[in-house]
A and B are shown apart, each in its own frame.
Chain A
Amino acid sequence: METILGIDYPTLWYLVVGLLFSGYAILEGFDYGAGAWHLFLKKDLSRRIAINAIGPLWDANQVWLIIGGGALFAGFPVMYATMLSAMYIPFMLFLMLLVLRSSAIKFRSAEDMTWWRKTWDIIYFVSNTLIAFLLGVVLGNVLQGFELGENLTYQGGIFFSFLSPYAIMVGFTTLSIFMTQGAIFLLLKTEGRLHARLTFLLKKGMIFFIISFAVTSLYTLTFLHGVTDKFKENPVFFALPILAFLAVANVPRLVSKKKYANALVFSSLTMAFLLMLVAFQLYPVLLPSTIDPKYSVTIYNAASSQKSLGIMLTIVAIGAPLLAGYFLFLYKTFHGKVKLDDTSY
């Protein structure tokens, strides 16, 4: 098997996919999170400002989902196909909510009628909240494992079985960290009374996160077999949850000092550490089988050919710096507080 710096191609691609999903979680995390606060903002103007805070950015942030999905399909087609077809209902709901959410952003402020704006406000709030929740639910299902038999046949229930208690817990944890991230982002982009209101909301969000996180962690350590074993083998990885905790503990301090950009960095780091924890816990498995570990989808039995992975690593090596450049340009153009003008939503 070919390697770069002693790391084999499937592992490298695992890192690429992990990086893309982390980027998606961090960037769309504040988009979805901001949306999940929408109905907590009472005035029409506040809601408009909140939407325009993500206005020029959300479409670009969504690219991380598109590239992440493409990278999963390209590098681990077996994982892509098996996960999506087994998680049919949650993914279809997720996709539909994405459509509704983008419609809400575009059409909400296009008319002045109160009923029109109120309807879109509800759609916007519900879609953002459920998207964040469903992403966590899918992650919870992956961590728990699927009922996979021989030849990757999915034998689990098809309509509501994805809503297991554990999946729901991970769903709430994801929602709560996105809401924390979203509130910090909005603090960065707003002023005045809206800003004061968000400072108050952020505190609620962090309490929500700490409770969900604590409950989910306890459940994971108690009921998910195999998790603890892996940490006993490599105790150094206990650093990850500790780092995640330290990062999130730093957020209130930075917020009280009004260093919102730094606070956003630290809440992003929390997400990054938690996702690394997930990645480490699973590796080299992508999708554990609850029937028999030999039926699990791993980065080796799911991977594309060496040739194909080599081509795609080249594509990433060329494309990633370009993408970084575009994003720097975009975020630099739209830094600072939201100012509504005739081009705003």
Chain B
Amino acid sequence: MDTEILARIQFAFTIAFHYIYPPLSIGIGLIMVIMEGLYLKTGNKHYEVLTRFWLKIFAITFGIGVATGIIMEFEFGTNWAVYSRYVGDIFGSALAAEGLFAFGLESAFLGVLIFGWNRVSPRVHFISTIGVFLGSMFSAVWIVVANSWQQTPAGYHIVGEGFNARAEVTDFWAMVFNPSSVDRIIHVWQGAFLAGAFLVLSVHAYYLLKGRYVEISKKAFKIALGLATIISLTQLLSGHSSADGVAVNQPAKLAAMEGHYDKSAPADLYLFGWVNDKTQEVTGIGIPGGLSFLVHQDFEAPITGLNAFPEEDRPGQVNAVFQFYHIMISIGMFLIGLTLYASFLWWKGTLFEKRWLLKIFAFSVLLPQIANQVGWFAAEMGRQPWIVYGHLRTNEGFSQEVSSNQILFSLILFLVVYAILFLLFIYSLNKKIKHGPYDEANNTLDII
């Protein structure tokens, strides 16, 4: 295989693996802030037990997130040297800001959060929890800013030609608030909240089904359900706003998402389907003119299709982009239905009586994870063939001096190490859940 393909596989694999963890940390972080806040406010020990329990799980997800994140920071240089030189002037300041403002905050307070229960006052501990949570939110900001700049570059000019060409900042704030960054930051945050909330829902649904830790599980379930309901609904808004932005800034990506080829014609909105790139047809069920309506509030309005772009400027994997995008949307819709129905039962007072619903919640932990992954795949594959939209092609961005054997070697290393890491993660997560928040035999809940 050639260097470019291997470099792309390696990047996709390492970033997808990394992206299991930071969203969980952000989501669990918010729930810990709520739980610990309730503990300080009410003095109810149940919330302290819950905070301590989720902190243990947070510590694992955060740790793996950091370990796999450092690799990302240096992989740009090892595998994508040309790209790094091209964007360093812009991308670098976002990364530097992330390190100083976000990562410094979260990592310094993490030690206090995990090991400081007996060393600092409850109030200082709560402040540390907030510090770590905010740090993880800021991290997401700077990373998504950098990625959004690749999608919709702004506040820059291109200096030099050929090998020496590179983008330089002309307006820092225009770079930070480039056309897609705000929508995408909110969308990513919400995806992270859902990942965390659904893990909490899943674990406590499991306890409720088993009849273990019933009292505290009901409390935790309600906190997470309230959050999940609000976020899955508002996720729809940021998603819509984000898609509107794509329609303006990256029309080829939007066309690929719905498999729309006609140069200028009303476009359909599919519930599901299959794109045949050869015949340029989509087989599936959809609303005729639906995409036109969403973008222009008019079923007849024309949308720029893939054929309006030269072949070499279109995403190569139209069907993949289509599928990933539609899986994300379907999951989003399902989560809205699920959380609304559960909230309705909560309001009626019968939430914990429906065992089948709790079973669905126990398994639904995977759904936000899948949605987060496929959402990014749609975003990144939809940007192809560009690594910096409209300026630098992916096949020009990789390290010219690195051989395919070197990448293959490191890819195999990553596969092995990450497989071990994933097994350890699942094993220790399972162990922590089985062990539970407190010792049931002695019912330590009353005495701690």
**How far apart are the CA atoms of A57 and B108 in the complex, in Å?**
8
Within residues 317 to 345 of chain A, which ones have a CB less than 8 A from any CB in chain B? 319-320, 322-323, 326-327, 329-330, 333-334, 341, 343-344
> Contact at A78–B88, with CB atoms within 8 Å?
yes
Binds B, one of A30-38, A80-88, A177-185, A237-245: A80-88
> Contact at B118–A312, with CB atoms within 8 Å?
no
Query: B219 at the A/B interface (Cβ < 8 Å)?
Result: no
Q: Within 8 Å CB of A95, what residues of B?
A: 70-71, 74-75
Say how far B143's CB is from chain A's closest CB, in angstroms.
Answer: 11
> Contact at A56–B400, with CB atoms within 8 Å?
no
Q: Within 8 Å CB of A159, what residues of B?
A: 406
Query: B104 at the A/B interface (Cβ < 8 Å)?
Result: yes
Query: B209 at the A/B interface (Cβ < 8 Å)?
Result: no
Query: A290 at the A/B interface (Cβ < 8 Å)?
Result: no
Q: Within 8 Å CB of A92, what residues of B?
A: 78, 406, 409-410, 413
Query: Which residue on A lies nearest to B79, using beta carbons?
Result: A85
Given the known inter-chain contacts A73-B95, A78-B88, A102-B67, please indicate yes or no for A333 contacting B112, CB distance below 8 A.
yes
Contact of B85 among A63, A70, A77 (CB under 8 A): A77
Query: Which residue on A lies nearest to B418, using beta carbons?
Result: A99
> Contact at B168–A308, with CB atoms within 8 Å?
yes
Query: B390 at the A/B interface (Cβ < 8 Å)?
Result: no
> Contact at A307–B66, with CB atoms within 8 Å?
no
Query: A62 at the A/B interface (Cβ < 8 Å)?
Result: yes
Query: B447 at the A/B interface (Cβ < 8 Å)?
Result: no
Given the known inter-chain contacts A69-B74, A323-B100, please indicate yes or no for A78 contacting B115, CB distance below 8 A.
no
Say how far A339's CB is from chain B's closest CB, in angstroms.
Answer: 9
**How far apart are the CA atoms of A102 and B74 in the complex, in Å?**
17
Q: Which of B70, B100, B117, B414 counts the most chain A CB atoms within 10 A?
A: B100
> Contact at B104–A153, with CB atoms within 8 Å?
no
> Contact at A85–B78, with CB atoms within 8 Å?
yes
Query: A256 at the A/B interface (Cβ < 8 Å)?
Result: no
Query: A65 at the A/B interface (Cβ < 8 Å)?
Result: yes
Binds B, one of A103-111, A189-197, A269-277: A103-111
**How far apart are the CA atoms of A33 and B78 in the complex, in Å?**
26
Q: Which range holds the interface residue count of chain A? A: 35 or more
> Contact at A329–B112, with CB atoms within 8 Å?
yes
Query: A305 at the A/B interface (Cβ < 8 Å)?
Result: yes
Say how far A204's CB is from chain B's closest CB, in angstroms.
Answer: 30
Contact of A304 among B88, B107, B421 (CB under 8 A): B88
Within residues 72 to 101 of chain B, which ones have a CB less than 8 A from any CB in chain A? 73-82, 84-85, 87-93, 95-101
- Beta-carbon contacts of A286-320 to B below 8 Å, as 1s and 0s? 00000000000000000011011001100110011
Say how far A84's CB is from chain B's closest CB, in angstroms.
Answer: 3
**How far apart are the CA atoms of A344 and B76 in the complex, in Å?**
35
Chain B residues proximal to chain A, CB less than 8 Å: 59-60, 63, 66-68, 70-71, 73-82, 84-85, 87-93, 95-101, 103-105, 107-112, 114-120, 159, 163, 166, 168-170, 172, 399-403, 405-406, 409-410, 413-414, 417, 420-421, 424, 428, 431
Q: Please name 20 further chain A to chain B contacts, defined as beta carbons within 8 Å, in addition to the given A70-B98, A322-B104, sorted by A numbering.
A: A55-B115, A56-B112, A73-B84, A73-B95, A77-B92, A78-B85, A80-B84, A81-B77, A88-B410, A92-B413, A99-B417, A103-B420, A106-B59, A153-B400, A154-B401, A158-B402, A304-B88, A330-B109, A343-B114, A343-B118
9 A-B pairs with CB atoms under 8 Å apart are: A67-B96, A73-B77, A73-B92, A98-B67, A102-B67, A153-B401, A159-B406, A315-B96, A344-B115
Nearest 3 pairs of A and B residues by beta carbon = A77-B88, A74-B92, A84-B77
Chain A residues proximal to chain B, CB less than 8 Å: 55-57, 59-60, 62-63, 65-67, 69-71, 73-78, 80-86, 88-89, 91-92, 95-96, 98-100, 102-103, 106-107, 110, 151, 153-154, 158-159, 304-305, 307-308, 311-312, 315-316, 319-320, 322-323, 326-327, 329-330, 333-334, 341, 343-344
